[in-house]
Amino acid sequence: MLRQGRTTPAQKRALEELFPKYGIAFSAQKVSSSQNLVLEIGSGMGETTIEIAKAHPEADFIAVEVHGPGVGSLLNAIEREQLTNLRVIRHDALGVLEQMIADGALAAIHLFFPDPWPKKRHHKRRLVQPAFAALAARKLKDGGILHAATDWPDYADYMNQVFSKEPLLEPAPAGFAARPVTKFESRGQRLGHSIRELLFRRAGKAPAAR
């Protein structure tokens, strides 16, 4: 689903006035790391992002989104909730991962409902590809979680296959944070779509033998 649409006056104001406060401008400089740094790719309107950041004050979150109205909404929500652990980057997530995130820096990557590009001839536009899996795995710390969700069964199968083939990833028993159900998702559930969660982690060193 593509969220097109105009920027509302409130979103426009947020982009102008709140981005300097809560945004990080795209640059080739690495963001400063923290013990628990979580990157969300494609935060959309940011409902899930806000809920997870509120529930986990011990972690730091960076939401990456290209869509202006979504970034504006999220900035307004950060201000409303007075969150100090969530920042936003308005840029393509691949560039952000490559340029702004140090290898081994992330406790988790969240990829919730990436654009499904349902037509077969558009599948190559899907974000998840082997090169993405390798890049994402490299940015995770040992044991760091890659958590994806989708309601497109063939995309879920494909992501599962791609993540399973990436040597730096292994299936994970649990995510970094429980994923709250969004409006978008509950609408999908009413339409009978089932949601698939994919949980992988960066394969770390084997635990020392006792």
Ligand X SMILES: C[S@@+](CC[C@H](N)C(=O)[O-])C[C@H]1O[C@@H](n2cnc3c(N)ncnc32)[C@H](O)[C@@H]1O
Where on the chain is the footprint of ligand X (CB under 6 A)?
1, 3, 41-44, 48, 64-67, 70, 92-94, 112-115, 127, 182, 184
Question: Among 89, 161, 88, 105, which residue's Cα sits nearest to residue 128?
Answer: 161
Question: Helices marked H in 91-152 — which ranges?
Answer: 93-100, 130-139
d(CA 121, CA 88) in angstroms, rounded, equals 32
State the catalytic residue, choosing from 115, 142, 151, 157.
115
Question: Which is closer to ligand X, CB of 27 or CB of 204?
Answer: 27
d(CA 95, CA 66) in angstroms, rounded, equals 11
- Least separation, in Å, of the C-beta of 210 and ligand X? 41
Question: Which is closer to ligand X, CB of 195 or CB of 203?
Answer: 195
**E strand or H helix that includes residue 53:** helix 47-55
- Least separation, in Å, of the C-beta of 163 and ligand X? 17
Q: Report angle CA 46, 132, 129 to the nearest 5 degrees.
A: 105
- Least separation, in Å, of the C-beta of 32 and ligand X? 21
- Least separation, in Å, of the C-beta of 203 and ligand X? 25
For residue 123, what are the CA distances in angstroms to 131, 154, 159, 175?
15, 10, 12, 27
d(CA 68, CA 52) in angstroms, rounded, equals 21
Instruction: State yes or no: is 142 an active-site residue.
Output: no
Catalytic residue numbers?
A: 115
